[in-house]
Amino acid sequence: MKFPGKLIFGLDIGTRSVVGTVGYRVGEKFYVVSQSIKEHGTRAMLDGQIHDIYKVGATISDVKAELEQRIGRTLKDVCIAAAGRVLRTVTVRVDTELDGDREVNGEDIYALDSLGVEKAYEEFLEKHDSEMKFYCVGYSVVRYYMNGYAMGNLEGHRAGHIGADIIATFLPEDVVDGLYKAVDLAGLDVVNLTLEPIAAIQVAIPEMYRMLNIALVDVGAGTSDISITKDGSIIAYGMIPVAGDSLTEVIAKHCLVDFATAEHIKRETGVKEQIEYKDIMGLSQTISRAEVEEVTAGMIRDMTGKVADKIKALNGGKAVSAVFVVGGGGMLPGYTAALAERLSIQKERVAVRGEEVMQNIEFLEEDARKDSLMVTPIGICLSFYEQSNNFIFVYFNDQRIKIYDNNKVAVVDAAMQAEFANDGLFPKRGRELNYTVNGKPRITRGTLGESAVISVNGNAADIHTLIHANDQIRVVESTAGEAAHLDINQLPEYGAVMRVEVNDIQVDLPKFASVNGALQSGYYSIQEGDSIEILNYYTVRQVAEFMDVIINQEMNIYVNNKLADMDSKVYENFSVVWTMEELHLSDRDKYENELAETFEDLPEDDGTYRRSEDPDESEDSGESAEGSGLTDSAGTESGNGEYSEEEDAGRNVPEGTEGRPDNEADAESIGMQEAQEAQGQSIYVTVNGDPVRLAGKESYVFVDVFERIEFDLSRPQGSGIVTKLNGRDAQYMEEIRSGDVIEIYWRR
């Protein structure tokens, strides 16, 4: 017999029966040439697990022989599926930092996926503390993340941080070996191994529907396998160990029959109103469909409740939008309605899927079975075209390992199966350096080491090189880079030098930083956990130490022409003088020093003081303007700017009006000024040799001075304005403080 396409033989090795399907695909259509269903003579399988390999092998041989007779060909290669009963899944979130903000390439994605699979394997081993060996038979990426945002495809995008949600699937070694042994006893070679939930989805949920949040429930004999689709991917797998056999056992007890007879009653319930059978006493009996439904109702409620709970758990704690039911166990009347009720969704959105989802399936036999029982067997055949999976043996650093081959298996997959550390494949970074700068945490990363040296069959390779059966793989572990190293002068906040004038000599001082409270130069090597503060000043003592000068106690120290001490701060462009003799200062410099001392001796301003704006004001009041030039709020001066008790007592003022000015208009003006000044703080500066008081603000900048001096900006008297603050050029918006010396004049 000739067929236009290559024949594919698929076996669904189930708990109650073995279903064989032979077909071929042409274009988008798959043609089912023949089917064969054989039930196990005994309970050789329980809950999807082979218990008697030889009996299961014998059943497979019967199915194979029947199909060979029908199609007139010898069958040698076979596709099989592992039941969801033995499937283990782990979902993990994995993240990794890239080396700077750069374009993501294929190797970055491979490294991320491998990291995820390794993490899943580690979590799996923690949860399943067993000596049983498991194989990773595949993984799927649910979604990628770029800088914290979900992304469909990372490659080509610029990012500093990438991540992924990954679901990895594992099968135990004894299950895989049992399936292979049973098939081998029937004279067959496995060419493709898939998972039953994946096979069922191939038929029941086409690609275009996988954007929807749908659950597929494959109700077999021993287990109910569940898979969830969303956003185009299979996002979760699950299983509960309750299915069709539980319903059969309830019927067997009620009708007093053996398991096989109860199974017959269950199957007939869906198609007949009255079912005849013989009980264990040999008596003929009849049971109605309604009675079977009543008998099984309790078990169905229990079963669908567990399925609904599992679906919600797999779907993030909420129900799905719809449920497709396949498999023989879900065909019993009442199952879909009960499941819809337990999920609290419309009953029309839970349905058995059979022939209605097989639009691209053509059955060539007239009496072919087209119900939901055939969804998974046909899906097993279709999986061959989508993925060619099998187990192969390779050698990894002389260790013989068995690995799940999907025709895309690479060195990185073999390394994981051999339990080779993932960081042994990729360059390792040297130890990072953690520290703080001005209170903010910083991290400097170590350099990358060398990648692993990989060869396959003696030829140079990399982690992405595809491997095949019996390949010899050798991997020399990657190396770690150098630990992070950073000097303080490499910090962006650190400036090169700070220039000051010392005894009329320009001196360039290297900027220092405080590290853990101790001063360090720019050549200090930052250590783990260091707390760094960048300093923009020296003390006089530090200047002297840098210049290797000894200042004795008899010396006079001046900073910006003001008397200072060893702890006085010296900033950029400041002048410093130390001498055995008193510095010959100009009259103005002496006055500035005296003024500074006066300001230092004054009490904190509480709004009592104000400076006379008009030099004639004191003359009009008949009071002296000598002394410090400060007057009290009443215009009467005392030696220290305050009323003495004696003076106050000797004043002839009405009772209750002490301390008030005689002129009520002046009182109102002064009261307003005092109220305004009370809202801020006062500072005292010298402008062009004259003392000036600024009041009414929390802080002051250079231009505030123009409001207190007579300087007509509208009538230029030179080529430009010269502004000096403490002997250096000033900026209009820089902050000024009490005691500052200011010069403002026209450049001639």
What pTM, to 2 d.p., does this model score? 0.53
At residue 707, the pLDDT reads 84
Domain that holds residue 741: 591-651+660-747
Number of neighbours of residue 560 by Cβ within 10 angstroms: 22
- The CATH number of the domain holding residue 684 is 3.10.20.30
Residue in 280, 369, 373 with CA at minimum distance from that of residue 332: 373
Query: Is 43 within a domain?
Result: no
452 and 532 share one domain:
no
Last residue of a domain, one of 568, 584, 600: 584
How many domains would you assign to the chain?
4
Torsion of CA 489, 493, 497, 499, to 10 degrees: -160
Indicate if the pLDDT at residue 341 is higher than 90.
yes
At residue 276, the pLDDT reads 93
- pLDDT confidence band for 473 (50 / 70 / 90): very high
Asked if 193 and 82 count as a contact pair (C-beta separation under 8 A), the reply is yes
As given in the structure block, the two tokens for residue 562 are 């003001």
Residue in 579, 569, 520 with CA at minimum distance from that of residue 541: 569
- pLDDT confidence band for 652 (50 / 70 / 90): very low
531 and 467 share one domain:
no
Cα dihedral across residues 376, 380, 386, 388: positive or negative:
positive
Distances in whole angstroms, Cα of residue 365 to Cα of each of 68, 70, 230: 15, 10, 36
Q: Which of 291-305, 390-404, 434-448, 578-592 has the lowest mean pLDDT?
A: 578-592
443 and 492 share one domain:
no
- 337-342 long-range contacts, CB within 8 A, separation 24+: 338/297, 338/300, 338/301, 338/304, 339/217, 339/304, 339/307, 339/308, 341/304, 342/301, 342/304, 342/305, 342/307, 342/308
Query: Is 56 within a domain?
Result: no
What mean pLDDT is reported for the chain?
A: 80
Residue with tokens 């491998």: 114
Is 350 exposed, middle or buried (CB count within 10 Å of its CB: 0-12, 13-18, 19+)?
A: buried
Query: Is 231 within a domain?
Result: yes
Query: Is 16 within a domain?
Result: no
Indicate if the pLDDT at residue 609 is higher than 70.
no
Last residue of a domain, one of 584, 599, 620: 584
Q: Which of 3-12, 406-415, 610-619 has the highest mean pLDDT?
A: 3-12
Asked if 59 and 95 count as a contact pair (C-beta separation under 8 A), the reply is no
Indicate if the pLDDT at residue 149 is higher than 60.
yes
CB contact burial 194-224 (16+ within 10 A = b; e otherwise): bbbbbbbbbbbbeeeebeebbbbbbbbbbbb
The number of helix segments (H) and strand segments (E) in the chain equals: 15, 45
3-class DSSP state of 298: helix
> H-helix or E-strand containing 559?
strand 556-559
Asked if 21 and 381 count as a contact pair (C-beta separation under 8 A), the reply is yes
Q: Which of 140-144, 258-262, 464-468 has the lowest mean pLDDT?
A: 140-144
357 and 463 share one domain:
no
The phi, psi pair for 533, rounded to 5°, reads -125, 120
| DSSP codes joined into one string, 729-744 | E--TTSEE-TT-EEEE
3-class DSSP state of 701: strand
Asked if 202 and 108 count as a contact pair (C-beta separation under 8 A), the reply is no
- The CATH number of the domain holding residue 172 is 3.30.420.40
229: left (phi over 0), alpha (psi -120 to 50) or beta: beta
Query: Is 701 within a domain?
Result: yes
Last residue of a domain, one of 366, 386, 406: 386
As given in the structure block, the two tokens for residue 409 are 């298996």
311 and 442 share one domain:
no
580 and 667 share one domain:
no
CB contact burial 445-483 (16+ within 10 A = b; e otherwise): bbebbebbebebeeeebbbebebeeebebbbeebebbee
640 and 529 share one domain:
no
pLDDT digits (tens, 9 = 90+) for 543-579: 998 888 888 888 889 998 888 899 898 888 899 998 8
Query: Is 735 within a domain?
Result: yes
At residue 409, the pLDDT reads 82
Cα dihedral across residues 86, 90, 91, 97: positive or negative:
negative
The number of residues making up the chain comes to 748
452 and 517 share one domain:
no
Residue in 14, 228, 271, 225 with CA at minimum distance from that of residue 140: 228
738 and 606 share one domain:
yes
For the segment 124-153, the average pLDDT, to the nearest whole number, is 77
For the segment 74-92, the average pLDDT, to the nearest whole number, is 82
For the segment 218-222, the average pLDDT, to the nearest whole number, is 83
Asked if 77 and 122 count as a contact pair (C-beta separation under 8 A), the reply is no
547 and 617 share one domain:
no
Residue in 87, 89, 85 with CA at minimum distance from that of residue 14: 85
430 and 378 share one domain:
no
pLDDT digits (tens, 9 = 90+) for 433-465: 999 998 889 999 888 888 889 999 999 998 888
At residue 586, the pLDDT reads 52
562 and 533 share one domain:
yes
Give the integer Cα–Cα distance in Å for 683 and 692: 8
Asked if 314 and 298 count as a contact pair (C-beta separation under 8 A), the reply is no
At residue 254, the pLDDT reads 94
pLDDT digits (tens, 9 = 90+) for 258-282: 988 998 898 888 788 899 999 999 9
pLDDT digits (tens, 9 = 90+) for 485-518: 999 888 887 766 788 999 888 998 877 788 998 8
For the segment 16-20, the average pLDDT, to the nearest whole number, is 88
Query: Is 102 within a domain?
Result: yes
Q: Which of 1-5, 235-239, 444-448 has the lowest mean pLDDT?
A: 1-5
At residue 658, the pLDDT reads 41
| Side-chain half-sphere exposure of 640, counting CA atoms within 13 A | 7
Query: Is 598 within a domain?
Result: yes
- pLDDT confidence band for 663 (50 / 70 / 90): very low
